[in-house]
Amino acid sequence: MAKFLFVVQGEGRGHLTQALALQDILHNAGHKVVAVLVGKSYRKIPDFFITKMQAPLHYFESPNFVKDSNNRSILIGKTIAYNLLKTRIFLASMRELSAYYQQYQPDVIINFYDLLAGFYNLFHKAPAPMVVVGHQFFLQHPQFEYPQGHKVEKFLLNLNTNLTAHKAKLKLALSFAPYLADFKNIRVVPPLLRKEVLSLTPETQNFILCYVNNDGYGDDIIAWHKQNPDVKLECFWDRKNAPEVEHFSENLTFHQISDTKFLEKMRTCRGVVTTAGFESVCEAMYLGKPVMMVPVEGQFEQSCNALDAQKAGAGIVSKNFNITPFLKYLETYQPTTQMREWVQKAPKMFVESLEKIL
């Protein structure tokens, strides 16, 4: 039995659900997750993660994005400045990481795209080999096709990814589809989907599911709905001080993010309209639900996700939340089983890859 320690970026829901999925895979293979270190975000860590993660949880301060006043787009310049001002705090966080490493003595450290876990390796010798997990490492594959232009954004994304993976022995590159071969220490692997998703039986009811991780986009959905009141929308956001359920009209409802309710709505919807986070798109693809992806403004990584997912047959990409073209797309969409077949290979591929590190 090997001991694994997780370091998880708390900014994105996807990193948290990936950690839960890998926990189950490792436990089923006879291994143990001894601790989970979570880089704190301005977002509340979801209750489902705290409840279902079986290892001790510890939190530390980690870099975060800065958004505009409308909680829509990412401000790259202000993000860099804000995090540089917190250098002393992050140095203290790295000392915390060191103490936890010594306390738990893992055989392998698995980093779910937390920058400080990689930055730590710039200044210290880690007590165990590090493996990094994320779709971001698929973007480093030499055959990955980036959106046209965006030279500065591409440089900054790759800089962040390289620092996050500094001295990593293996990069497990999550991919929407198995269309690229392994390259050097990059191994192309399926998405990590939780058992709660894998156990769902999809059906189709007459509504569109909307999910926005930046609640400012909710106003765009409301504006579209006013022009299209006959289309039923079930939406999820994390707007502060908003009620648990808010009925804007008979056909427009906003819910605070709830794991079980969100998955049930995804199971039964006609299609999904969302920002271009990797995990939500994968869940929709697994359930055979077409997706309209709207990359978060200023987050180049999401533009890459959207282009890659479109290539894999997930759906369409839009610059805004005008849902009308998506309704037309739904008329001709034909689901495939490719994602299901790909995801089913995940347990074997992850266990084989990680056991080779031991």
**pLDDT of res. 240:** 79
Lowest mean pLDDT among 79-88, 166-175, 300-309: 79-88
CA–CA separation, 9 vs 63, rounded Å? Answer: 9
Residue 18: phi and psi, rounded to 5, are -60, -40
For residue 33, with 0-12 CB atoms within 10 Å meaning exposed, 13-18 middle and 19 or more buried, which class applies?
buried
Q: Where are the beta strands (DSSP E) in the chain?
A: 3-9, 32-40, 57-61, 108-112, 130-134, 170-174, 186-189, 208-211, 233-237, 245-249, 252-256, 271-274, 291-293, 315-317
Task: To the nearest 10°, report the CA torsion of 315, 298, 69, 223.
Answer: -30
Do 3-192+344-355 and 197-341 have matching folds?
Answer: yes
Q: For the segment 57-114, what is each residue's pLDDT rounded down to a tens digit?
A: 999 988 877 765 566 666 677 777 767 777 788 888 889 999 999 999 999 999 999 9
Q: For the segment 265-277, what is each residue's pLDDT rounded down to a tens digit?
A: 999 999 999 999 9
β-strand partners of 253: 234, 247
Lowest mean pLDDT among 64-73, 108-117, 192-201, 326-335: 64-73
User: Could you tell me the residue ranges of all domains in the chain?
Assistant: 3-192+344-355, 197-341
**pLDDT of res. 306:** 94
Superfamily covering domain 197-341? Glycogen Phosphorylase B; (3.40.50.2000)
**pLDDT of res. 123:** 86
Contact predicate 208/269, CB 8 Å: yes
Q: What is the mean pLDDT of residues 18-39?
A: 97
**Model pTM?**
0.91
Return the SS3 of 210: strand
CA–CA separation, 271 vs 8, rounded Å? Answer: 29
How many Å separate Cα 335 from the centre of its chain? 23
Checking if the pLDDT of 42 tops 70, the result is no
β-strand partners of 89: none
| pLDDT band at residue 232 using 50, 70 and 90 as cut-offs | very high
Q: What is the mean pLDDT of residues 28-41?
A: 94
Residue 215: phi and psi, rounded to 5, are -65, -15
CA–CA separation, 62 vs 25, rounded Å? Answer: 27
Q: Which of 146, 183, 158, 190 is nearest to 279 (CA)?
A: 190
Rounded to the nearest integer, the mean pLDDT of the chain is 91
Place of tokens 């917190």: 86
**pLDDT of res. 44:** 75
Say how many C-beta atoms besides its own lie within 10 A of residue 193's C-beta.
23
Q: What is the mean pLDDT of residues 197-218?
A: 92
CA–CA separation, 177 vs 312, rounded Å? Answer: 6
- Whether CATH 3.40.50.2000 fits 3-192+344-355: yes
